[in-house]
Amino acid sequence: MKLGAIEAGGTKFICGIGDEDGKVMERISIPTTTPDETIGQVLEFFRSKEINAMGIGSFGPVDLDKNSDTYGYITSTPKPHWAQCNLVGEIQKHIQVPVAFDTDVNAAALGEMEWGAAKGLDSCIYMTVGTGIGVGAITEGKLLHGLTHPEMGHILVRRHPEDSFAGNCPYHRDCLEGMAAGPALEKRWGQKGIELADRPEVWELQAYYLAQALVNYILILSPKKMVIGGGVMKQEHLFPMVRQQVISQLNGYVQRSQLTEDNIENYIVPPALGDNAGLCGALALAKTLKS
């Protein structure tokens, strides 16, 4: 079975052809400009590829309600040209195969469960910390949806007592994304994260906010694995700091071996699929159409 996969991001669309084992045979990266132009190039790539099914993991917010008139749309994004874009519809107009559609982070969570860090488990979260903060989740073996898809990047966090940065989320100002996404880092410290690598105070603060979010995800979702990727997490020294803060903030309340000093490095982990997490996630979505 030949599967098509699209990781639809705000900067680029990554398209690929793969199989049910998560093997990617071919891939291409297309800049995200206007829907006409970008989707046009996507269609060009898939033309004559003879795929059997397609998975799309997209930046959001997206409409995932199959009973809705705008199912398959990117909805209220501030990204110019893309609000109310009928992404699934435009693709299905030209490629007549079944399409599975979800958020980029839900797709990545599914990919990590199928072939990556959460293999064999029935729950996990996948968090990306980059231009924004997004989180996808699997609970009881299923991708988590409800009223809409989760928007966990915007949870309310308590401010670090020594942090006077106002926060830059246009909706909530100092929510998690407003305090800890890449642009918040840059605005607070006046330099990009990558240029701040040797300043421990930057990463202590960053770990404080990320850990606080993870603690709340643990208390609410109780996932069996937490996978964290995205540009900001390329600062690998962040991982041990975040793990330490999670243990200290939980303060022994949840008594599971995964949450101990000895084991937490196998609980809070980078994506096993690395930069392929998103594309493989879209493949994993396509694979769900088989059953």
Residues touching its own copies: how many (CB under 8 A)? Answer: 46
Select from 99, 217, 229, 278 the one that contacts its own copies (CB under 8 A): 217
Is residue 242 part of the contact set for its own copies (CB under 8 A)?
A: no
104, 134 in Cβ contact below 8 A? yes
Choices 1-9, 78-86, 110-118, 145-153 (CB under 8 A): range interacting with its own copies: 145-153
Is residue 253 part of the contact set for its own copies (CB under 8 A)?
A: yes
57, 42 in Cβ contact below 8 A? no
Residue with tokens 């800890």: 180
Does residue 61 have a cis peptide bond before it, meaning omega lies within 30 degrees of 0? yes
Choices 5-13, 24-32, 100-108, 218-226 (CB under 8 A): range interacting with its own copies: 218-226
Is residue 163 part of the contact set for its own copies (CB under 8 A)?
A: no
Is residue 261 part of the contact set for its own copies (CB under 8 A)?
A: no
The span from the CA of 87 to the CA of 282, in Å, is: 14
Is residue 133 part of the contact set for its own copies (CB under 8 A)?
A: no
Report the chain's terminal Cα–Cα distance, integer Å.
13
- Minimum CB separation of residue 137 from its own copies in Å reads 8
Is residue 221 part of the contact set for its own copies (CB under 8 A)?
A: yes
Task: For residue 206, give the nearest of 245, 250, 261, 168 by alpha carbon.
Answer: 245
Q: By three-state DSSP, how is residue 199 classified?
A: coil
Select from 32, 216, 244, 288 the one that contacts its own copies (CB under 8 A): 216
Is residue 223 part of the contact set for its own copies (CB under 8 A)?
A: yes
| Angle formed at CA 98 by CA 93 and CA 101, multiple of 5 degrees | 90
Quick one: three-class SS letters along 14-82? EEEEECCCCCEEEEEEEECCCHHHHHHHHHHHHCCCCCCEEEEEECCCECCCCCCCCCCCECCCCCCCC
Is residue 62 part of the contact set for its own copies (CB under 8 A)?
A: no
- Minimum CB separation of residue 59 from its own copies in Å reads 16
> For the chain, what is the radius of gyration of the CA atoms?
19
- Minimum CB separation of residue 223 from its own copies in Å reads 5
What is the 3-state composition of the chain as percent helix, strand, coil, each rounded to the nearest 5?
Answer: 40, 20, 40
- The pattern of x and - marking residues 69 through 98 that bind its own copies according to CB under 8 A reads ------xx----------------------
- Minimum CB separation of residue 256 from its own copies in Å reads 5
Contacting positions for its own copies (CB under 8 A): 61, 75-76, 123, 137, 139-140, 142-152, 154-159, 171-172, 212, 215-224, 249, 251-256, 258-259
